[in-house]
Structure 1
Amino acid sequence: MKKHLLSTSAIALGVAAAAPAAAQEWDVSFGGFMSQHVAYADIGGTAAAGLDLDGVDLHSNTEIIFTPSITLDNGLTFGVNVQMEGENQGGFSQIDESYMTISSDTLGKIVVGSENSAGYMSMVGAPGVTSMYINSPSISTFIPFSLAYPGGFRQAGLSSYTEVAGNNDVQRLTYFTPSFNGLTVGISYAPTGALNVRNSYGVDRNAVLSDIFDIGANYSQTFGTTSVTLAARYGTGEAPTGGGSDPETWGVGAQVGFGDFTVGGSYAENDNGLALGASDSEGWSLGVTYDVAGPWALEALTYQGETKNAAGNNADYKAYRIGASRDLGPGVSWDIYAAQVDADNGVTGAGAADIDGTIIGTGINLSF
């Protein structure tokens, strides 16, 4: 039965039957990364009143990524990508992403399984060289801005790498075209945005976000000593019954490299509808990096977001980072950085809350 289903899926995707693969072998490989950070934080604001949040803390980000693959005689490559989180999450480890790929130079690439959308994977934003991200919630390890700021994960109030209503790594079918002189276009479909890295066992489209479509485009080309990367994405889905308007997200981004400098930025929006998090948001990034002669690279960048809730309050998030990274050897780098975050809930009067924080930190990154 399993072989029959696989054959049926291959025909539906327009994949020709492969020649016998007796002489072919799987390349069973794995890799991953680990980043370990130590930083001192100085935290203030009304949301931190009565709390002692100052001092040294640690942040870890680790994944082991299994990537077996095989290339058949007809040129098709079938692969697996399973990403296991390296940190203890509430007493147990978890799988971050798990998907299959089918690709060739002429076919492009098909992705089936739990992965981000084509729109998300097409985007670019402000460049950086260190791994303490401010264009995502990572810095919340040291600065707990969520005490005041309501911005959601994978949404524009915190990051220009958005998803429809913030859905992340759900079961999805994605297709990317081959590169046409640097241009790649992708399209995704997900039955639901409610489940992360697991089967749905049936989707009640009256009860959850469903039928999510995303499209993304990325153009990357080099002209002499100048490199250009442009990106755009759009996505939408069906709101559940009584869930308000259908949610949407869109964004644009660009990076330009000339000599040892790279500059870039991005802008994105999420319109979530009243019952899907209740918060609409927008945000932008801007940054520059410089490769110093030798092993060092420098950075300066910002991400600034705004989230509006159902009451019409405009909450603000502003983050800045400067830093440097030194290449110590193959797959090994050392970061030093300083970052500042200011956030508030946009409320005036008795319900007002804000938080500000500054960190000075260092980190070691391993990639293997």
Structure 2
Amino acid sequence: MKKALLGTSALLGVGLAASPAFAADGIKLSLGGFFQTAVLANFDDDGKGDLGHGRYDYGVFNDSEIYFLGETTLDNGVTVGVRVELEAEQSNDQIDAAYAYFSGGLGELRIGSQTGALETMCVTPVGGTANFGAFSQDQVINNAFSGFSAGICEGVDSFRGQERSQKIVYMTPNFSGFQLGVSWSPNGGHESGEVTDFHSGMPHSVDGEQRNVVDVYATYNKDFDNWSLSWGGGGSWALSSGGNSPSHNKGDFYQTALNLTFGSFSVGAAGQYYGDGIAADQNGWVAGAGMAYKLDAWTFGLQYSYSDFEFIAPNVDRRINTVALTTNYDLGPGIAIDGTLQYAWAHADSEDEEAHGYDSFGIGLGTSFNF
């Protein structure tokens, strides 16, 4: 789903050793990125003890990033390069990703701070826009998720707060529409501390840290007569945990999605299960569907998601429904305006009193620029 891909280090090493691999030119630097903005309004239960209490009803929000891409193609056809992603707003995680890569006929190998195979290749339901939707889009308007979202593309380390930890990712070439990705993160909780820059000794053991996180994800994309199919599925597993932590405190996540397109109309569904999502014995799952219709520069979408989270707070089981009506208008290449109308409602067990009978009506208008 994401880019053409490149070989294993061993195979690449054989190729480089067998023949000269000098580049006609050195690595050339280019720039790119995106800038997304959104104006949101939310009308929900805001009385004392309700989820909306003490929160504003409207605001202006954005998500933006600039990436630096340096690459060159060697004389043997292998492309080598680096990519560094910089948050365009002040952030505690100012550098979003930073990795080196080798790309050629054998696939793509990436090494550094980045997302795992599941999130990198993930297929999501149709009907969402760059800003809005009922699943993993940037802007969550309602207050039912308490800082989470109906995420449908999460790996174990990303959901535990280290989305772009240091890892190795390999993605095969595309074989008649089929592609496979595998990633490994030895220290899922370390993105920079004791890992990047000057290095002396091994990182400290961290209690409860998800270690040796492995992702495996496959996609299949195929065009048939008058229709097309896009499928993705895989999982993410922590094979061990650091320091003093319970033996069962190892996350195991599973995700799958399928989209079908018939001319201008498309429909799809997806689901993800979070085993030991935030901590031991705190699980959750998200499922839902979407549809979209394209009319010239307009795309109209509808999505529904159902989330069941046991890990919003200790001993809490919160169930959240979201319906999102979306629209997107392409002003030009990489330039779009999008909007949404959303309704969300939540139910919970007796220990989650804030969520009982919660409902929200949200409105959003946004822009999305890619450069």
TM alignment of 1:183-194, pairs within 5 A:
183-194=178-189
Residue 298 of structure 1 is matched in structure 2 by 300
Deviations 1:144-196 (A, max 9, x none): 3344xxx757xxxx212021252411100011111111111111111111123
Shift in Å, 1:89: 2.5
Shift in Å, 1:110: 0.3
Shift in Å, 1:300: 0.3
Deviations 1:44-68 (A, max 9, x none): 15424653532x3111011111111
Residue 64 of structure 2 is matched in structure 1 by 62
Distance 1:135 1:261, change over 3 A: same
3-state SS of paired residue (1:160): coil
Shift in Å, 1:27: 3.2
Q: TM-score, normalised by structure 1?
A: 0.85
CA separation in 2, counterparts of 1:96 and 1:364? 21
- Percent identity reads 23
Distance 1:137 1:185, change over 3 A: closer
Specify every segment of 5 or more residues in structure 1 that has no aligned partner in the other structure, as ranges.
1-8
Shift in Å, 1:199: 4.9
Shift in Å, 1:243: 2.4
CA separation in 2, counterparts of 1:266 and 1:52? 31
Contact 2:132 2:326 in 1 (8 A): no
Which letter maps to 2:98?
S
TM alignment of 1:61-100, pairs within 5 A:
61-89=63-91, 94-100=94-100
3-state SS of paired residue (1:16): helix
CA separation in 2, counterparts of 1:291 and 1:50? 39
Residue 258 of structure 2 is matched in structure 1 by 254
Which letter maps to 2:155?
E
Distance 1:358 1:248, change over 3 A: same
CA separation in 1, counterparts of 2:302 and 2:11? 48
Which letter maps to 1:263?
V
Specify every segment of 5 or more residues in structure 2 that has no aligned partner in the other structure, as ranges.
1-7
Which of 328, 333, 339 is residue 325 of structure 1 equivalent to?
328
Distance 1:132 1:171, change over 3 A: same
Which letter maps to 1:65?
Y
CA separation in 1, counterparts of 2:154 and 2:23? 43
Residue 5 of structure 2 is matched in structure 1 by none
Deviates more, 1:221-230 or 1:236-245: 236-245
Residue 3 of structure 1 is matched in structure 2 by none
Contact 1:232 1:251 in 2 (8 A): yes
Which letter maps to 2:237?
T
CA separation in 2, counterparts of 1:120 and 1:232? 11
Shift in Å, 1:314: 2.1
Q: How many residues align?
A: 344
Deviations 1:93-146 (A, max 9, x none): 7011111111102x1000111111112223212113422243137334x43334
Which of 348, 351, 359 is residue 350 of structure 2 equivalent to?
348
Contact 1:191 1:203 in 2 (8 A): no
Contact 2:269 2:290 in 1 (8 A): yes
TM alignment of 1:1-368, pairs within 5 A:
14-17=13-16, 19=20, 21=22, 23-44=24-45, 46-48=49-51, 50-51=53-54, 53-54=56-57, 56-89=58-91, 94-105=94-105, 107-130=106-129, 131-136=131-136, 138-140=138-140, 142-147=141-146, 152=148, 158-164=150-156, 166-167=159-160, 168-196=163-191, 199-200=194-195, 202-204=202-204, 207=207, 208-237=209-238, 238-240=240-242, 241-245=244-248, 246-272=250-276, 276=279, 278-292=281-295, 294-309=296-311, 313-344=316-347, 346-348=348-350, 351-354=352-355, 355-368=358-371
Which letter maps to 2:300?
L
Deviations 1:22-44 (A, max 9, x none): 63243321111111111222121
Contact 1:118 1:174 in 2 (8 A): yes
3-state SS of paired residue (2:28): coil
Distance 1:15 1:280, change over 3 A: farther
Distance 1:199 1:52, change over 3 A: closer
CA separation in 2, counterparts of 1:85 and 1:206? 27
